[in-house]
Amino acid sequence: VAALCYSPLVDFSDTGSDEKTPLCFLTDDFADGCLAMYLGSMTGPEERRLVSPINHSLRDLPPIFLQWGDLERLFEQGLRFKAKADAEGVTNMELDVLRNMVHDPVMLPTVVSPDAERGIRNGCAFAAKHLAPVLRSGAGSKW
């Protein structure tokens, strides 16, 4: 029906760097470790490039909500991903940028970060827009 993606890694050949985004709490070591675990034996740069979502067609996907903080290491990937979707004529992809926020901003306590609450609201609004018609029709209901 739709996908909500919060701070996704879309280019497995580029995870950013601590020097480029010093305020982001997603460190090089952690990002590289997660990616290595996810990719398993695919360690070569060409293998990583071939399996990266950004290097595949973005057409014919369900509606997608993408959210990044502009201070996080994956933010530039997000901009490139959305630009690629736009160039391919994709019209059902929504980019939500949270200013002055680090990786996965919606995981921050909303009492500390009003922008985290705004990010949650934006994602919920997108989900409601795409799920409401399905829920109203009863499509897919097994009860």
pLDDT of residue 50: 92
Confidence of residue 85 (pLDDT cuts 50, 70, 90): very high
For the record, the structure tokens of 102 come out as: 């680090």
CATH level 3 topology of 3-137: Rossmann fold (3.40.50)
pLDDT of residue 8: 94
49-82 pLDDT, tens digit per residue, is 999 999 999 999 999 999 999 998 899 999 999 9
pLDDT of residue 7: 93
95-142 pLDDT, tens digit per residue, is 999 998 888 888 888 888 888 899 999 999 999 999 988 888 776 555
| Start-to-end C-alpha separation, the chain | 19
For the record, the structure tokens of 55 come out as: 């290097």
Task: Please state, in angstroms and rounded to a whole number, the distance separating the CA atoms of residues 9 and 5.
Answer: 9
pLDDT of residue 140: 58
